[in-house]
């Protein structure tokens, strides 16, 4: 990454955080490129690249001859985790978008579990069992970060076992958003217990090679996840709404030792 590109990304994060904090208001123009360059100590070209990055996520729009305006949160990209959080905070029902995420997961992951039951290998089953064991270990020590990593890795291995690159490509943008929502719900011991129970049932069905039971187990898991979200994610000051662009503690996607879906 070039130095200017790095500066542009940093400035884009700074501007986004300023927008989230209300410094720049919806449908109000940002300061000019010259003013932003002077106030931030970067070049106008760097400012231009930062604005272009925000525009690509529909956070701002550039109107020729008028300036750069902040778009309403409802227009922002839903696949960026920080923007999803911001949109949730602006919504009357702040769990509306997380619920839509669960709906999307239900559509994709139920079918993925069915395919995995038909195509899984011995190595897939061993890795799923290993991640489930890690979930149990980390749950017993209240290691939420470790628990979420194992949870994500389990689902990734189910996805890999399905062996469909198109499904993998469709599911990939949801991964970091899933990690953020999992960190909040998995902070609660009953949620971790529910997850372990449902992952065991999914693994049992996949191991037996029953696509029908695997799909049903995954659907039940999604239903339980939604119930847990409604039960435990109620605090308006919860950490998921306090995350800022550029936070270093947003975990990167873990692929459970796999570089992608196999072809079957």
Domain covering 3-75, topology: Arc Repressor Mutant, subunit A (1.10.10)
d(CA 221, CA 215): 10
d(CA 147, CA 170): 25
pTM of the entire predicted model: 0.70
Indicate if the alpha-carbon torsion angle 160, 163, 167, 170 is positive or negative: positive
Which CATH architecture does the domain made up of 81-241 adopt?
A: Up-down Bundle (1.20)
Structure tokens at 172: 């990939």
pLDDT number for residue 229? 85
Instruction: Please check whether residue 109 is in contact with residue 91, taking contact to mean a CB–CB distance below 8 angstroms.
Output: no
- The secondary element (H helix, E strand) that includes residue 94 is none
Walk along the chain (264 residues) and give the pLDDT tens digit of each residue.
466 568 898 999 899 989 988 899 999 999 999 999 999 999 999 999 999 999 999 999 999 989 999 999 888 887 777 777 666 666 556 667 778 888 989 999 999 999 999 999 999 999 999 999 999 999 999 999 999 999 999 999 999 999 999 998 888 777 777 776 777 788 899 999 999 999 999 999 999 999 999 999 999 999 999 999 888 875 544 444 455 555 544 444 333 333 344 444
DSSP secondary structure, 142-193, as one string: T-HHHHHHHHHHHHHHHHHHHT-HHHHHHHGGGHHHHHHHHHHHTTSHHHHH
Instruction: Work out the burial of residue 127: count CB atoms within 10 Å of its CB; fewer than 13 is exposed, 13-18 middle, 19 or more buried.
Output: buried
Cα Dmax for the chain: 64
**Domain segments of the chain as ranges:** 3-75, 81-241
């Amino acid at each position: 990454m070039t130095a200017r590109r790095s500066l542009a990304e940093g400035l884009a994060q700074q501007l986004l955080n300023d927008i989230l904090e209300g410094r720049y208001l919806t449908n109000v123009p940002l300061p000019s490129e010259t003013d932003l360059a002077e106030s931030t100590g970067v070049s106008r070209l760097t400012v231009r690249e930062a604005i272009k990055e925000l525009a690509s996520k529909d956070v701002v729009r550039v109107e020729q001859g008028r300036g750069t305006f902040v778009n309403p949160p409802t227009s922002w990209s839903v696949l960026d985790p920080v923007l999803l959080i911001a949109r949730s905070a602006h919504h009357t029902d702040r769990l509306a978008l997380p619920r839509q995420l669960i709906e999307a997961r239900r559509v994709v992951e139920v079918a993925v579990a069915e395919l995995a039951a038909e195509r899984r290998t011995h190595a897939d089953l061993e890795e799923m069992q290993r991640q489930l064991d890690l979930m149990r270990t980390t749950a017993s020590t209240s290691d939420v970060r470790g628990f979420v990593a194992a949870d994500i890795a389990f689902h990734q291995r189910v996805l890999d076992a399905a062996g469909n690159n198109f499904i993998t490509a469709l599911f990939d943008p949801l991964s970091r958003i899933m990690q953020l929502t999992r960190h909040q719900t998995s902070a609660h011991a009953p949620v971790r217990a529910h997850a372990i129970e449902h992952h065991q049932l999914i693994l049992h069905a996949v191991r037996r090679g029953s696509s029908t039971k695997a799909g049903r187990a995954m659907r039940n898991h999604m239903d339980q996840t939604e119930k847990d979200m409604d039960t435990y994610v109620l605090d308006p000051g919860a950490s998921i709404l306090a995350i800022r662009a550029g936070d270093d503690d947003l975990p990167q996607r873990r692929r459970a030792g796999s570089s992608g879906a196999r072809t079957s």
